[in-house]
């Protein structure tokens, strides 16, 4: 040990536990859940563990509300607690609660011994909240990995199903490439600006006049690619349909909603704070990617017979819509994006809850035929899915209409009118795959029950293909009905959400 | 409770009634749904009374109260609120709408008793009343448009209520299409005004109107005339009137409710509500006054020759609404609204009495088949006489005071308004003639077989029910009228409703007797506080002359009708001889001035021809071939392409990734 090091006093940053509390609740919950999951009793594992996860998520949500209104940088500027990170944390925890409810009696949770499943889920949400608050590039990367690695595992939790394993492996490979690309980009940006902190990067770009610096621009390009991977932006979306289709449906629901929230959140903060001075360079590129994403997502979703695959493409398209709010770099754009993220949660949760309910009931997997005749046989499931489809398509009186209107308004006000037009065209195409679902539900007859297949392992049959429950499980129905009701409610009374997102861009120094 | 709380309750009860009946219809046996519907509207009426008491307890300067339940959207320059405006004008309207509607609901319980669509009928009826109340309580343009459109939709549902009758569904479509023309006018008019005022709220609009608009400014005149288009379509004024007579295809209580007492008065209400804007745009006011006068005259003449009893009353409605539109357009707001109120009573009474006699005829509506019902239906006859005298403006019945007040204000304006004054009195004479022609033809003369049967104590019941318009044979299942009919003499709810309306028709005129009392004037004054013309000095000479002239013309009309249709002893004045002598005039009137044919020739046919031509050429080649097939194949090809690269093999994804990174990297390098 050299004398210099010995004499140096190492002082850690001041830790603001209040600001950190939602994250602590999530990660602490993950540890507790993992340990409780080791207990022998089957009942404890199957019932107490998810209940504890709900407690952890509820606590995190409560703490987030408690922190509402704070504007501060914590951990020596590594994290930013403001309206944006708090709203995103709220969306994430609500999405997490819905996921836990959907996974309560799922095969995936059972196969992964409950404790592991929920611990991974909570850790991933923790990573997402970290990402939503990240204010330097190191924290950004840590958050991104913390959210990604548990997800790779979660995708593969139905261990005896080949598709689930394939999905997990694919996600791992593609996700790692994305992470590596992002890391490379972050390194180049550090090389160009000499800073890791977002605000310092921004001031370095403007004071040193770096906006056309090769090193910086290459770094931006690689970061853009890396984040595009995570938020499934075309042409880096190709993992999405495969992974969404293969993953256990509750995990798909979680990925569709939460990953998108975290990725778009970091898009907003990284591009509209750190790189805002170079907006004239990256703006057109991101806008082009957004347009491409909208077209590819909507066109790809046409004619899909698997509902999960259809929703995967739809989520690609929706990511494109939301990028429009990022591109314009205005307060209005930030608000519109966050507003859309909030309603996106409800629309997708309603749809996935119904798919899960039908998977467990009808024995047709996630094929669109599984909802045929649902309008007559079970209107409580048919209505949420109908509302969700209408809302995703942006039909008035649903939240999706208001959200899309807001995004288009932001795009036009920010000088990207053509992107607004692309959003409208995309919505028109999207009716081509949303409406057939509704038509199948209300106008087609329920398919005749399939004859039992001979052969195969009896226990496998029991676990994987045959309907395991007769009625709809109440917790799944609850998620479907609440999310569907919220979709309708915020379409009629959007003002509470407008108020919620009003301040999300205030810390940004944008117009 | 505050006045606005009562206002919200007025909206809540009909909405709840509609939802209860609509969702619970399977559970309600017998007449339950009818009583629920009636009770809901009656509660709304009580709440309206509460609002009246509350608003009167405020000082006159503060009698315009708004309340917002929530913001629909407050962003991007539009503040859209769910807000109502409770002031004397809206309270006046909700009292009439909910009061008359309660009685019509009550009447319907008996009248629709055996109809197979009983529960559906009351759900629609509640929805209609809710829409109308929303229209008059709306505190901003947005909610007004919503209520306006809801009323149109509800009237479509009710006119086409017997949906297996082709004539009824066609009439419903006609009404809906013409109403939508009006909706477009209303929306565009709102836009013209919003463009300058930047607010949707009524009170704020009126507040800033004087500052942002100059006298007769082009945009304001255009906006007001577009609002008038909306008003004309709802209130059946020329040339958007043709739906109203056809709308008589609906059940008779529906005709009483929406085509006499409430819906058609929406246009009058709109002009009164927007008086601040109209006073700044006198050109639009003149348009309204002239159209009202022309309508009252034309409709009066058509009423002379119609043979369908409900259509006679329908044309009389058009004519009377013409008086009101003329009144509120020349600044006689209180008089126009006063006439609106008295008309709601006596016209609902006439429709109900007509429903009773149609019931006695077993669904037949033609005056040619009726006659001599005086002894068989004394109560209905009495109601017809009271309603007829009120409609003809004979003192001291209510129509006398209200109609003359409108004409008095018109006359006082002088100048070319004298022409309107004269037309108004000609209209009054025609009104008396056609009203009593109808009464005399139905009740006097030799009793027809149906009347004789009824005198013998048995209600006529046709063996094969037919459509009164076409004579087609019908069954009595859902979608057609029920198997039995009701008459007021034998159904207590109908009798009660008609008695109350009869009392109102006789007595309501006493609320405002010239130079004696001014109840309506005083009550409405706070709503028209900013108006320059609300207070007018009455010339006593003109007043006395008008009252006398009105009485004389009314009595002369009745005498003429008596001479022609009762004392017809083959003299020069028998209907057949008159018809032969004035053949051209008769043809004009019997064809309703050829308005249907005019609209058909000017608009419907050219449009249809152009449409067919476009469908054959442009549509097939460009739209279907190019736009649709082209787009579909492009999208389909794109879909195939996206799926083709979606091979499921990670190595291809890696290749796409490399290409993507290269492209983006290249772009950014170009930027440097």
The residue among B555, B590, B625 that closes a domain is B590
CA–CA min distance A486, chain B (Å) = 15
Nearest CB neighbour to B650, from listed A173, A213, A406: A173
Express each pLDDT in B325-373 by its tens digit.
998 888 888 888 888 888 888 888 988 888 888 888 877 888 888 888 8
DSSP B60-129: GGG--EEEEEEEEEEETTEEEEEEEEESHHHHHHHHHHHHHHHHHHHHHHHHTTT-TTHHHHHHHHHHHH
Residue B594, pLDDT > 80, answer no
Determine if the pTM surpasses 0.90. no
Angle between helices A260-269 and A83-103 (to 10 degrees): 170
Look at chain A and count its residues. Answer: 511
A40: which residues sit within 8 A by CB, 6+ positions away?
Answer: none
Instruction: Provide the pLDDT confidence category of residue B570 given band limits of 50, 70 and 90.
Output: low
* Residues B542, B620 within the same domain: no
Nearest CB neighbour to B635, from listed A222, A241, A299: A299
Which residue in chain B has the smallest CA separation from A182?
Answer: B661
CA–CA min distance A408, chain B (Å) = 11
Distance CA A301, CA A426 (A): 11
* Residues B489, B623 within the same domain: no
Read off the tokens for A432. Answer: 């081509």
Tens of each residue's pLDDT in chain A, 511 residues: 455 555 667 777 788 888 889 999 999 999 999 999 888 788 888 889 999 999 999 999 999 999 888 888 888 888 988 889 999 999 999 999 999 999 988 888 888 888 899 999 999 999 999 999 998 899 999 999 999 999 999 999 888 888 889 899 999 998 898 999 999 999 999 999 988 898 889 888 888 888 788 899 999 999 999 999 888 898 888 889 989 998 999 999 999 999 999 999 998 989 888 888 888 888 889 999 999 999 999 988 888 889 999 999 999 999 999 999 999 888 888 999 999 999 999 999 999 999 999 888 877 788 888 888 888 888 889 999 999 999 999 888 899 998 998 899 889 888 899 999 999 999 988 998 999 999 999 888 877 655 544 444 444 444 444 445 567 788 999 999 999 999 999 988 888 888 888 888 776 765 5
Chain A interface test: which of B634, B645, B650, B662 (most A C-beta within 10 Å)? B650
Contact flag A177-B654 (C-beta cutoff 8 Å): yes
CA–CA min distance A191, chain B (Å) = 16
Distance CA B405, CA B400 (A): 9
Counting the structural domains of chain B, the total is 2
Q: What are phi and psi of B69, to 5 degrees?
A: -80, -45
Read off the tokens for A195. Answer: 């800073």
Element housing A73 (H / E): strand A72-74
Contact flag B635-A302 (C-beta cutoff 8 Å): yes
pLDDT value at residue B81: 80
Which residue in chain A has the smallest CA separation from B636?
Answer: A299
Task: Find the radius of gyration of the CA atoms of chain B.
Answer: 28
Distance CA B416, CA A451 (A): 87
Distance of CA B15 to the CA centre of its chain: 20
pLDDT value at residue A458: 42
The residue among B542, B564, B590 that closes a domain is B590
pLDDT value at residue A121: 94
pLDDT value at residue B571: 62
A-chain residues near B639 (CB < 8 A): 299-300, 302-303
pLDDT value at residue A466: 45
More confident residue, A21 or B524: A21
pLDDT value at residue A4: 57
Q: How big, in percent rounded to 5, are the helix, strand and coil portions of chain A?
A: 75, 0, 20
Which residue in chain B has the smallest CA separation from A429?
Answer: B635
The residue among B545, B563, B590 that closes a domain is B590
* Least confident window among A461-475, B409-423, B562-576: A461-475
CA–CA min distance A300, chain B (Å) = 5
B-chain residues near A181 (CB < 8 A): 661
Number of helices (H), then strands (E), belonging to chain A: the values are 24, 2
Rounded-to-10 torsion of CA A384, A387, A390, A391:
-100
Distance CA B303, CA B435 (A): 8
C-beta neighbour count of B198 within 10 angstroms: 14
* Residues B616, B509 within the same domain: no
* Residues B586, B601 within the same domain: no
pLDDT (mean) for B81-96: 88
* CA-based nearest residue to A363, from A246, A461, A510: A461
Which residue in chain A has the smallest CA separation from B633?
Answer: A299
* Residues B565, B661 within the same domain: no
Contact flag B671-A493 (C-beta cutoff 8 Å): no
pLDDT value at residue A456: 43
More confident residue, A284 or B469: A284
pLDDT value at residue A129: 93
pLDDT value at residue B199: 83
CB A244 within 8 A of CB A318: no
* Residues B169, B26 within the same domain: yes
Mean pLDDT (chain B) is: 83
* Least confident window among A281-290, B276-285, B581-590: B581-590
Contact flag B635-A174 (C-beta cutoff 8 Å): no
* Residues B32, B114 within the same domain: yes
Looking up tokens 């039909």 gives: A395
Identify the bridge partners of residue B466 per DSSP, sorted by sequence position. Answer: B473
A129: which residues sit within 8 A by CB, 6+ positions away?
Answer: A22, A23, A26, A60, A85, A88, A89, A92
Contact flag B74-A299 (C-beta cutoff 8 Å): no
pLDDT value at residue A459: 43
* Residues B542, B632 within the same domain: no
pLDDT (mean) for B313-328: 89
* Residues B610, B573 within the same domain: no
* CA-based nearest residue to B462, from B324, B595, B364, B575: B364
Distance CA A138, CA A186 (A): 9
pLDDT (mean) for B620-640: 81
pLDDT (mean) for B441-465: 78
Contact flag A177-B660 (C-beta cutoff 8 Å): no
* Residues B135, B214 within the same domain: yes
Distance CA B567, CA B311 (A): 25
A-chain residues near B667 (CB < 8 A): 221, 285
* Residues B576, B608 within the same domain: no
Q: Is the dihedral of CA A95, A96, A98, A99 positive or negative?
A: positive
Please tell me whether residue B186 adopts helix, strand or coil conformation.
Answer: helix
* CA-based nearest residue to B219, from B173, B169, B277: B277
Nearest CB neighbour to A495, from listed B73, B648, B669: B73
Distance CA A479, CA A488 (A): 14
Question: Chain B residues within 8 A (CB-CB) of chain A?
Answer: 70-76, 635-636, 638-639, 642-643, 645-646, 648, 650, 652-654, 656-657, 659-661, 664-665, 667-669, 671-672
Please tell me whether residue A8 adopts helix, strand or coil conformation.
Answer: coil
B-chain residues near A498 (CB < 8 A): 73-75
Beta-sheet pairing, B78-86 with B65-75: antiparallel
Angle between helices A137-155 and A260-269 (to 10 degrees): 170
- ipTM of this model? 0.81
C-beta neighbour count of B41 within 10 angstroms: 30
* Residues B637, B506 within the same domain: no
* CA-based nearest residue to A192, from A168, A225, A171, A223: A223
For residue A13, what is the DSSP state? P
Read off the tokens for A87. Answer: 């709203």
pLDDT (mean) for B412-427: 84
Residue B112, pLDDT > 90, answer no
CA–CA min distance B137, chain A (Å) = 20
Q: Domain of B343?
A: 3-590
A-chain residues near B664 (CB < 8 A): 221, 224-225, 285, 289
B-chain residues near A296 (CB < 8 A): 638, 642
CA–CA min distance A125, chain B (Å) = 27
């Amino acid at each position: 040990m050299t004398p210099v090091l010995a004499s140096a006093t190492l002082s850690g940053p001041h830790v603001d536990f209040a600001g950190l509390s939602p994250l602590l609740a999530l990660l602490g919950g993950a540890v507790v859940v993992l340990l409780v999951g080791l207990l022998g009793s089957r009942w404890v594992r199957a019932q107490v563990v998810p209940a504890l996860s709900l407690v952890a998520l509820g606590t995190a949500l409560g703490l987030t509300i408690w922190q509402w209104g704070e504007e501060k940088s914590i951990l020596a500027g590594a994290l930013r607690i403001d309206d944006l990170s708090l709203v995103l944390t709220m969306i994430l925890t609500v999405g997490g609660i819905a996921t836990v409810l959907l996974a309560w009696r799922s095969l995936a949770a059972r196969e992964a011994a409950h404790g592991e499943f929920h611990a991974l889920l909570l850790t991933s949400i923790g990573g997402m909240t970290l990402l939503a608050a990240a204010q330097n590039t190191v924290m950004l990367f840590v958050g991104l990995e913390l959210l990604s690695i548990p997800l790779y595992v979660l995708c593969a939790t139905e261990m005896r199903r080949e598709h689930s394993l394939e999905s997990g492996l694919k996600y791992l490979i593609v996700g790692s490439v994305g992470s590596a690309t992002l890391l490379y980009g972050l390194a180049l940006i550090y090389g160009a600006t000499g800073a890791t902190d977002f605000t310092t990067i921004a001031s370095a770009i403007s004071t040193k006049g770096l906006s056309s610096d090769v090193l910086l621009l290459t770094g931006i390009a690689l970061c853009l690619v890396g984040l595009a991977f995570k938020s499934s932006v075309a042409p880096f979306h190709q993992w999405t349909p495969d992974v969404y289709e293969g993953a256990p449906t509750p995990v798909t629901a979680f990925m569709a909603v939460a990953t998108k929230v975290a990725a778009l959140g970091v898009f907003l903060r990284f591009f509209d704070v750190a790189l805002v001075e170079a907006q004239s360079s990256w703006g057109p590129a991101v806008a082009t990617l957004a347009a491409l994403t909208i077209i590819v997502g909507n066109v790809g979703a046409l004619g899909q017979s698997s509902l999960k695959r259809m929703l995967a493409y739809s989520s690609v398209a929706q990511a494109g819509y939301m990028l429009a709010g990022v591109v314009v770099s205005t307060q209005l754009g930030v608000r519109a994006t966050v507003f859309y993220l909030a309603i996106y949660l409800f629309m997708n949760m309603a749809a996935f809850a119904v798919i899960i309910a039908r998977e467990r009931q009808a024995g047709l997997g996630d094929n669109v035929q599984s909802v045929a005749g649902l309008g007559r046989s079970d209107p409580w499931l048919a209505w949420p899915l109908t509302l969700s489809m209408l809302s995703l398509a942006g039909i008035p009186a649903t939240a999706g209409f208001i959200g899309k209107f807001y995004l288009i308004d932001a795009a036009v006000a920010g000088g990207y009118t053509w992107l607004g037009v692309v959003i409208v065209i995309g919505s028109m195409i999207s009716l081509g795959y949303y409406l057939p679902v509704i038509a199948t539900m209300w106008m087609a007859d329920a398919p005749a029950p399939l004859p039992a297949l001979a052969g195969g392992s009896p226990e496998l049959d029991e676990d994987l293909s045959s309907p395991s429950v007769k009625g709809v499980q109440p917790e799944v129905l609850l998620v479907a009905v609440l999310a569907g009701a919220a979709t309708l409610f915020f379409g009629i009374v959007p003002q509470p959400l407008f108020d919620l997102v009003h301040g999300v861009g205030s810390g940004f120094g944008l117009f | 409770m505050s006045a606005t709380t009562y206002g919200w309750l007025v909206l809540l009860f009909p909405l709840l009634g509609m939802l209860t009946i609509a969702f619970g219809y399977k559970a309600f046996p017998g007449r339950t749904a009818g009583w629920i519907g009636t009770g809901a509207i009656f509660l709304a009426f009580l709440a309206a009374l509460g609002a009246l008491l509350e608003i009167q307890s405020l000082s006159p300067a503060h009698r315009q109260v708004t309340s917002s339940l929530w913001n629909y959207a407050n962003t991007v320059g539009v503040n859209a609120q769910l807000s109502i405006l409770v002031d004397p004008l809206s309270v006046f309207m909700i009292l009439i709408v909910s009061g008359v509607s309660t009685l019509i609901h009550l009447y319907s319980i008996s009248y629709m008793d055996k109809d197979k669509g009983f529960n559906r009928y009351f759900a629609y009826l509640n929805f209609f009343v809710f829409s109308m109340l929303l229209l008059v309580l709306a505190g901003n343009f947005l909610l007004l448009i919503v209520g306006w459109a809801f009323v149109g939709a509800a009237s479509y549902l009710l006119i086409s209520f017997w949906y297996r009758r082709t004539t009824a569904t066609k009439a419903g479509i006609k009404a809906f299409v013409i109403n939508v023309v009006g909706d477009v006018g209303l929306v565009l008019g709102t836009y013209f005004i919003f463009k300058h005022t930047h607010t949707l709220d009524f009170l704020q609009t009126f507040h800033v109107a004087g500052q942002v608009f100059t006298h007769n400014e082009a945009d304001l005149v255009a906006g007001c005339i577009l609002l008038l288009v909306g008003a004309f379509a709802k209130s059946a004024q020329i040339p958007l009137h043709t739906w109203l007579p056809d709308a008589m295809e609906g059940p008779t209580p529906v005709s009483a409710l929406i085509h006499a007492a409430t819906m058609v008065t929406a246009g009058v209400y709109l002009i009164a509500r927007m008086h601040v804007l109209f006073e700044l745009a006198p050109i639009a006011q003149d348009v309204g006054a002239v159209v009202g006068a022309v309508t009252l005259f034309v409709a009066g003449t058509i009423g002379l020759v119609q043979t369908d009893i409900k259509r006679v009353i329908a044309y009389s409605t058009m004519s009377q609404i013409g008086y009101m539109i003329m009144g509120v357009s020349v600044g006689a707001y209180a008089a126009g609204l006063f006439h609106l109120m008295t008309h709601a009573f006596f016209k609902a009474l006439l429709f109900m009495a007509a429903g009773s006699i149609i019931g006695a005829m077993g669904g037949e509506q033609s005056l040619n088949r009726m006659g001599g019902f005086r002894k068989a239906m004394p109560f209905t006859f009495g109601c017809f006489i009271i309603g007829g005298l009120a409609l003809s403006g004979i003192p001291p019945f209510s129509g006398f005071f209200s109609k003359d007040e409108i004409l008095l204000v018109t006359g006082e304006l002088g100048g070319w308004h004298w022409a309107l004054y004269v037309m108004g009195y000609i209209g009054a004479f025609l009104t008396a003639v056609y009203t009593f022609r109808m009464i005399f033809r139905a009740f006097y003369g030799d009793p027809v077989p149906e009347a004789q049967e009824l005198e013998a104590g048995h209600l006529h019941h046709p063996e094969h029910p037919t459509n009164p318009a076409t004579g087609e044979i019908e069954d009595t299942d859902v979608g057609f009228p029920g198997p039995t009919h009701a008459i007021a003499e034998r159904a207590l709810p109908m009798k009660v409703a008609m008695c109350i309306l009869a009392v109102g028709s006789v007595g309501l005129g006493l609320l405002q007797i010239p130079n004696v009392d001014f109840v309506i004037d005083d009550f409405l004054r706070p709503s028209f506080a900013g108006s320059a013309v609300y207070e007018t000095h009455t010339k006593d000479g003109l007043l006395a002359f008008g009252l006398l002239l009105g009485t004389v013309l009314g009595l002369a009309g009745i005498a003429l009708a008596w001479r022609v249709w009762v004392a017809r002893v083959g003299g020069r004045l028998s209907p057949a001889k008159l018809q032969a002598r004035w053949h051209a005039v008769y043809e004009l009137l019997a064809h309703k001035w050829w308005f249907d044919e005019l609209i058909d020739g000017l608009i419907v046919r050219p449009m249809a021809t152009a449409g067919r031509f476009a469908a054959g050429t442009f549509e097939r080649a460009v739209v279907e071939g190019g736009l649709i097939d082209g787009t579909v194949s492009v999208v389909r090809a794109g879909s195939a392409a996206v799926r083709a690269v979606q091979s499921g093999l990670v190595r291809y994804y890696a290749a796409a990734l490399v290409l993507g990174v290269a492209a983006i990297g290249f772009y950014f390098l170009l930027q440097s």
